[in-house]
A and B are shown apart, each in its own frame.
Chain A
Amino acid sequence: MADEFKPKILGIVCNWCSYAGADLAGGGRIQYPPDVRVIRVMCTGRIDALFVLKAFADGADGVLVSGCHFGDCHYLAGNFKGAKRMFMVKRLMKSIGLDDRRFRMTFVSASEGAKWGAVITDVVKTINELGPSPIKEFNK
């Protein structure tokens, strides 16, 4: 086993709000831990529940989905539809005994660079507290 736990956290974020917010955090040189890898999609509505489950099956220690605030979606209501699916994923995780704190959906707008930094810091802190995903054991 590795001496130090380095969490593997996947972020799937929408192009218009959260990805832009993350870029703004960069422009503002807001510092946060480097443990999250971000994949960009056009809208959180694009995110299939299976993407999240696939990441956990692959051994992700945590998954973060982030989109526009409700009412702010670039595609009217894609984030509502995405969020509905994501809440279903959370319920599913509970019922299979996977700590649902490993998965989070947040809402960060294009103007909220500082919030993006705070969200990532908090996600990484939570996953560090929870430790490695139990699914990793099955993948060995």
Chain B
Amino acid sequence: MSQENENLEESQAEEVLEEQEQTEETVEVDPLETAQAEAAEYKDKYLRAHADFENSKRRLEKDKMNAVAYANESFAKDILAVMDSFENALASMENSGEDSSEVLANMKEGVNLTFEQLKKILEKNSIKEVSCEGEFDPEVHQAIMQVESDDHEVGDVVQVMQKGYTIKDRILRPAMVSTCK
């Protein structure tokens, strides 16, 4: 019991002390000074936050420039394989014998393989050929002329002058086509 009482007394005494301190504070502290101190603190915080913001903005800009500059790095690396193939082809032609028909046959095979290789690389990099079958689609086809045709419906693609390609969900180059009128 006695300990409890003591505790009670102690806490009461503390409360009184706190009260006294509080009254002293309100007497001593000038509201203008508090406001000024607060303002200075906020200004400091603002300046720091602003500096942080400016720094991260600059860093983002730098990151972005780097990202743009090296965006094609992985694609470029893939393309190097095609470069190697062409160099090998040229070297093998130098070393091949006199039989021109054999050289031509080998070359044809080599070009075909390299073509397939390049196709795979484009596919891997989400570059796909635009389909030009059937109806003209202005989203992926560029009409450059209209022609008469008995074999096609009006508005269909008749001839493809240049193939088109998409990269991911965007058009890289529309296919140049003629349409049936």
A binds B: no
Q: B residues engaging A (CB < 8 A)?
A: none
Q: Which residues of A line the B interface, CB within 8 A?
A: none
